Structure 1
């Protein structure tokens, strides 16, 4: 039953929400936390830029059909599902939560956990590295564009020039700076994975605390009754189930090998909490941020538990004769990576 229990990071998220509910930051403290959050987000994308190996990207770019399939699932299939399920979603969740679900559908795939689950399931790990990294990088550009189209389509305004400028300053410039600095610090950053994990989780917890503090002061828990929260859980579960089914049977229909199918399933069905929460802070200024990020927080835990079970089931399949000699050994994962 351990695999169904929340991991340490999820417990930290729950504790942060409870802290924000009991002791919300406001006034001068809120402004200080906003500055700290901006610095943490910039540092996060700088370190991701320094970590992303150009050699790994070049070595895996040849399997372009697989990468296009993953990107199509991430940035086409998910947004279409979010829009097509609107009749169901509208009856289960509030308008702000529905906007958060649409934002979830525009996010890039995870990097660490996609690769880890692919490795556990004995899939195509080099291709997973390229697909997940490309999704994370392209998400800096594609997610804001999709968000702008969705918000404009919902009648709640469009993507402002201020938001575009904030994306460039807080996300893109630090990422490019990290890529430039990679030749000097890239090896050290990759060796110190704990540092990147600390910045990953620290920036998320800071954004969650400030977002939920503001939401609590605006009466969040009066606007979010238990039936609505239960409806949100159902919506997240349905989205993940549809994505898993579409990627699995879509990969088979397109003639991919079992190894490539595994990569498509784990890279094409997941959404990044590490990218989503910082982006939400930049993109949704003036919106109730607590309600916007709540769907991705819940989806994060559901996808980790579901993919952990699925990866173990894939790993139990028979190994073709002679295939185990050249395969990279499965890397252990604690399921904590966002």
Structure 2
């Protein structure tokens, strides 16, 4: 009998559902919320309302395309966190109600663990152990992965995530939301060495990105005092220089981690891993240091339900299940 997992993702501004059959993703349906663009960032209350509107149509579409009925589902996996509380409540409430009605297991999934396991949706898949640089709007982590469910965060940001740095600096440049992709596109036409920006360097494998946001803001302010059109005249070079600095900060600690852990299987995950500059730099570093690198398809880098369903599948095989009493709030750690 087949093991069929319905995965539900609602941590931020993507309402998503996916069907996983015996470890293989059948489909990955995502409804994007465009309403946040006019606000320059995600508005939690609006995100929750959009999830309420989208969740049933998205799940129905995933099941219909897979030609699977609710009665055939073996278990329901849903994002427990991290994420926006109101958004998480929508997904967890649906999952709990459906699991109760169908009398099937409920599997809460840590969102960041799922980003790591997105590498097991399709080939090529990394061998254990490997290091995963997990970068998103809310997190920046270096994770040591020793099995599907055994992971350890060995380095992380002490303040802001790199994705937030991209977005906030993009807002200062006036290029719109989401900022990361906008910066990436502009950077492709700019000089990454035109404007050097200071980098924070805190001990061990941890990061700090609050300083560069402040430095970038004051740099723009000072330059605009001299030339009101400074941003418009240098937009591509500013984007390229900012992106180069952020990527360089990420890889300094990643290289340090590979030496410390003596691991050369390297993966990247999370929304920022869709950045073309980051991907190119990873390939360059791989050639230089003999790394075996793994990069998910673009659709599995950003928030999606395929990674939730895949993680739920491995948890199901290990007998890791949740209950109706589980909180929708994030667990402290995804390390097992």
Q: TM-score when scaled to structure 2?
A: 0.28
Q: Determine which structure has the larger strand proportion and give its number.
A: 2
Q: Determine which structure has the larger helix proportion and give its number.
A: 1
